Structure 1
């Protein structure tokens, strides 16, 4: 439905990134045109006009929220170039 780069985070030991993100209530959260997918919380989708800065900010929010609520630090699977 919307373009994405696929799975954003590596699977943390003993859990799934998407489940942790969903359990933290982050499905649908957006920054600019970037949003956490409603279908799979481990994906960030481009709802239109998302910039790399939007995506980086959303990733930071996700990582910080998941860490504060679970003690698990998510690690990015995607690599930013430039």
Structure 2
């Protein structure tokens, strides 16, 4: 969470509840959680990363705050992939 604020509040205020990429989506109940409503096999790791990046860009563009994910990527990812 950024100092003096909450990631979930910023994500919600940016209108991202329910936003989706592939099979992964921002929860409509708790904006700081991603859910896989289609169950196993409906979302890829690339979908998750793309949604993280979309949320980061949108919040940063709207509020000037760059959210940092709490997850760590493992394995090999394209050179342009940035989550920090």
Q: TM-score range by the shorter chain?
A: 0.7 to 0.9
- Name segments (4+ residues, structure 1) moved above 4 Å: none
- Note the C-alpha offset of 1:62: 0.2
- 1:56 equivalent to 2:49? Answer yes
- The two structures have a TM-score, normalised by structure 2, of 0.83
- If you compute each CA radius of gyration, which structure gives the higher value, 1 or 2? 2
Cross-structure match for 1:67? 60
Gap regions ≥5 residues in structure 1: 1-10
Structure 2 unmatched ranges of 5 or more: 76-84
Q: So what's the TM-score if we normalise by structure 1?
A: 0.85
Match of 2:5 in 1: 15
Answer 1 or 2: which has greater strand percent.
1
- CA RMSD in angstroms, aligned pairs only: 0.6
